[in-house]
Amino acid sequence: MTVANDPTGRPGGARNWPSTVVRALVVALVISAEVYLIIVTGDRYNPSNHFSYFTILSNVFAAVLFAVSLVRPIPDAVRGAAVTFLLLTGVVANTLLLNVDVQTPAYANIVLHMVVPILVLVDWLIAPPRTRLTTKHLVAWMLIPIAYLVYSLIRGALVDWYPYPFLDPREQGYGMVAVMSVVVAVAFGACAALVIWSGNRLQRRLRDAAGESVSEVSEPG
């Protein structure tokens, strides 16, 4: 069973203020970017299309999760998923979509594709999970982008609109969509592996450090 991540972020209830600040900043940035997009888009704003972007879904998910984490514990595995989704968002946006005109206003583009992914990774490093993550978590996390792919292709065929060029079969065919989907899946696997490895490694270091502190205190003077 995965133990929930304490919102204080540290054993004994001492609040991890750096993590608290980062999480609050993520929430504020995502809200500001969303409001900015709605205002700038104006009459062209289409909620169903807007929330069909993986970028939007991953950022909103992280913002909601971090907002909750400020007042109550959240599962390590769920936070790990949020970090992985946003790392994938950053990687794809800055590789596959780097030279593609996605018509995203500069502020929102920078915040959602660069700043927030970096901040959630920083939070993961300064407030690592307290429970060990395994490949089972990677497989579980992978189900979300797979479901997103299926949703995007089915919805795209119905409404004649696709969120990303590499998911659009109208010009390149389903064969190329399949190839690009595999590429993204590999990238996701790499991101998930990095999150799991770093989380477990930092968790061990904290546990060892805590053990050494207890030993020093218990030693007779």
Per-residue pLDDT tens over the stretch 89-119: 999 999 988 877 667 889 999 999 999 999 9
**Helices 169-218/116-126 angle, 10° precision:** 30
Residue by residue, DSSP assigns the chain as -PPEEPTT-SGGG---HHHHHHHHHHHHHHHHHHHHHHHHHGGG--HHHHTTSHHHHHHHHHHHHHHHHTTS-EEHHHHHHHHHHHHHHHHHHTTTTTTS-----HHHHHIIIIIHHHHHHHHHHHS--SS---HHHHHHHHHHHHHHHHHHHHHHHHHT--SSGGG-HHHHHHHHHHHHHHHHHHHHHHHHHHHHHHHHHHHHHHHHHHHHHHHHHHS--
Q: Answer whether residue 215 is part of any domain.
A: no
> Is 219 a domain residue?
no
Query: Distance (Å, rounded) from C-alpha 60 to C-alpha 186?
Result: 24
The pLDDT assigned to 216 comes to 43
| Angstrom distance (rounded) from CA 104 to CA 102 | 5
Q: Is the pLDDT at 215 greater than 50, yes or no?
A: no
The tens digit of pLDDT for each residue in 129-143 reads 999 999 999 999 999
Residue 145, pLDDT > 60, answer yes
Would residue 216 count as lying in a domain? no
| Segments forming the whole domain that contains residue 101 | 4-210
Q: Residue 140: inside a domain, yes or no?
A: yes
What is the reported pLDDT for 220?
Answer: 47
Q: Which pTM value belongs to this model? A: 0.88
Cβ(72)–Cβ(3) below 8 Å: no
Instruction: Name the least confident of 2-16, 166-180, 197-211.
Output: 2-16
Q: What is the pLDDT of residue 208?
A: 73
| pLDDT for 218 | 42
Quick one: what percent of the chain has pLDDT higher than 70?
A: 87
Classify residue 217: in a domain, yes or no. no
pLDDT at 212 over 70: no
**Quick one: pLDDT band at residue 2, thresholds 50, 70, 90?**
very low
Structural domain contains residue 19: yes
Query: 69 or 5: which carries more pLDDT confidence?
Result: 69
Domain contains 41:
yes
Contact 8, 14 (CB under 8 A): yes
Is the pLDDT assigned to residue 127 strictly greater than 80? yes
Q: Is pLDDT larger for residue 24 or for residue 105? A: 24
Q: Taking all residues of the chain, what is their mean pLDDT, rounded to a whole number?
A: 89
Pick the closest to residue 185 from 154, 148, 137 (CA basis): 148
The alpha-carbon radius of gyration of the chain (Å, integer) is 19
Cα 93 to Cα 111: distance, rounded to the nearest angstrom: 12
pLDDT of residue 221: 45
Q: How many domains does the chain have?
A: 1
- Is residue 54 within 8 Å of residue 148, measured between CB atoms? yes
What pLDDT is attached to residue 101?
67
Q: What is residue 205's predicted lDDT score, i.e. its pLDDT? A: 85
pLDDT of amino acid 211: 61
Q: How far is CA 70 from CA 28, 52, 73, 138, in A?
A: 13, 27, 8, 25
Q: Is residue 106 part of a domain?
A: yes
